[in-house]
Chains A and B, each alone.
Chain A
């Protein structure tokens, strides 16, 4: 059973606000990921981390930033939210077995609306 948590589940904020989306996993997984997904659309990788103090940008350009100070925690921050940031943000983690066959476990997501 995968244990990966995201808070908040829903967030409605005004333009220009700074926000941090939280993601935590209790499985000790080295690899963590952030995806952005609009309703009915595909998942786009925006950030990933292969371990503590390791972060990289994904395929989709994003104005967000991430940090990985602890293995279990991978927060995503938007310094100044805009309506174009309205979307669902999904966090995932994987064990990292030394091959490319990692199963990714997803959190429940944060649905962000920027007014």
Chain B
């Protein structure tokens, strides 16, 4: 089947940099998205990688390596408001559907 793996929890200090990894099954893989969800809130789109390499959007960057079946989300200059769950989500060739990972709960501490 189509599945993604990401760590369940990460803790980091305010002002630091944190990387959240995501590995996926390669069969039919098309692209990798990242979504942020605060407790009690709805997921919001952060970034998308359709090609290998780094995509930068302000303090957030996302990276994809198709040869390694791996991507990551990089958060810089962490702020307390970045405490949330982060989901990687894959799209597969010929489908608009997203398959979500189980999510990584990021806790930013002072």
Contacts and interface: CB of A to CB of B under 8 A. Distances in A.
Interface string B80-95: 0000010100011111
The range of chain B's interface size is 20 to 34
Nearest to A111: B40
Interface of A: 31, 33, 40-45, 48, 50, 58-59, 90, 94, 96, 100-109
Nearest to B94: A100
Interface of B: 30-31, 33, 41-45, 48, 50, 85, 87, 91-103, 105
B41 A90 contact: no
Contact of B87 (A31, A43, A94, A101): A43
A66 B1 CA distance: 25
A103 B98 CA distance: 10
A66 B72 CA distance: 35
A109 B42 contact: yes
A42 B87 contact: yes
A39 to B, nearest CB: 9
Nearest to A4: B42
A94 B96 contact: yes
